[in-house]
Amino acid sequence: MSLREQFGTDVLLAGWGHSRFGKLTDETLESLIVQVASEAIANAGVQPADIDEIFLGQFNSGLLPLGFPSSLVLQTDPALANVPATRVENACASGSAAFQQGVKSILAGTARTVLVVGAEKMTQAAPELVGSALLGADYDMAGKRSTTGFAGLFATVAQAYEERYGAVGDVLGSIAAKNHRNGVANPYAQLRKDLGEEFCRTVSDRNPMVASPLRRTDCSPVSDGAAAVVLTSERFRSGSAATVPVRLAGFGQANDFLPAARRDPTEFAATRVSFERALAMAGVGLDDIDFAEVHDCFTIAELIMYEVMGLTEPGQGRRAVEEGWVFRGGRMPVNISGGLKAKGHPVGATGVSQHVVSAMQLTGTAGEMQLPDPRRAVVQNMGGVGIANYVSVLEQV
């Protein structure tokens, strides 16, 4: 049963906006929000007065003094005065959490047109503050000192994976190189340089070990940026949008236990459930998907996502790399945008950004990133070490 059959309506991504990601010293959280919200509204062919509800995905966790940003979106246009606006936070999945809240408002019939924004301003904070803020998303390390931060948590995952399935250092280097190569074609990406496999596989002064076995090239950067999307239904979409819309075919969410002791470090069980729920709602299988945008905060996460989504059996994710499945032109291209690894990871913006770059692919507006006529995509975003998990299936209308 499809989403439309289950709920009696469809949900469309009608317009979107995206800022550049990186160290944006001349931008503020407010200016980034206003930029992408303005773009999304204009591209959807609607007026600000047509927006019934707003959801803003932002993590913050002390990165900025302002801890109450929901009404910053109203700065976009005076016509947004009195529109309900809610900030949504679910760690690194805050953007997709906001997206799904917007979807549910459409499905519930409480809104006809919803504006979803994801934004984060991080680079102004000292590295120590960034590290402690991000560790606030971990049950065991919140409030504790750490020299490796979240990289240390995913290094523990990588170590457990290697103990169970064998060394993966070269495979992780290949994933990093792939995503850096893909990022060159993405005008929004923070890191637009093809570093090559040898550099990404090798520990050096320019690519030091951060938390063994993860090198600097295995870690996504600290980033500023924002993205936005307008959600509506076929009944209420504008005829003057900048492009055709994209349909949400299915979505899934699943949360795992917070304490690490209650989770298998290599299984990402709740992430798997979120994939299963989204694909089941869409009524499709993995063979029906043309490309994927996944949450590669660290390269080990992308490797495990190959297994979690069902592309390979557990412990066999390296096959997807070694046999070229996840590269441009392969069986299932993954992170054509460059992923978090090269595009950047402004935490609250990431989930919305993944939906936007996928919508661009499905409407043939992705520029140099464009794949040849993709019809269906899967988007996966997670918070913590596989704790808060969101998956969407998007398709051409």
- Write out the catalytic residue numbers: 92, 345
Q: Which residues contact 334 (CB under 8 A, 6 or more apart)?
A: 291, 292, 293, 294, 302, 305, 306, 320, 326
Q: Which residues contact 298 (CB under 8 A, 6 or more apart)?
A: 150, 151, 154, 158, 214, 218, 219, 220
Peptide bond into 245 cis (omega under 30): no
Q: What is the largest CA-CA distance in the chain?
A: 58
Give me 265's structure tokens: 């470090």
First CA to last CA distance, the chain: 17
SS3 of residue 376 by DSSP: strand
Strands 246-255 and 225-232: unpaired
Q: How far apart are CA 274 and CA 278, in angstroms?
A: 6
Burial class (CB in 10 A: 0-12, 13-18, 19+), 170: middle
Q: Which residues contact 330 (CB under 8 A, 6 or more apart)?
A: 324
Q: How far apart are CA 172 and CA 390, in angstroms?
A: 23
Q: Where are the alpha helices (DSSP H) in 23-148?
A: 29-44, 94-108, 127-135
Q: Which residues contact 145 (CB under 8 A, 6 or more apart)?
A: none
Angle 315-318-322 (CA atoms, 0-180°, nearest 5)?
Answer: 155
How many Cβ atoms from other residues are within 10 Å of residue 397's Cβ? Answer: 13
- Residue found by looking up tokens 């297994």 in the block: 307
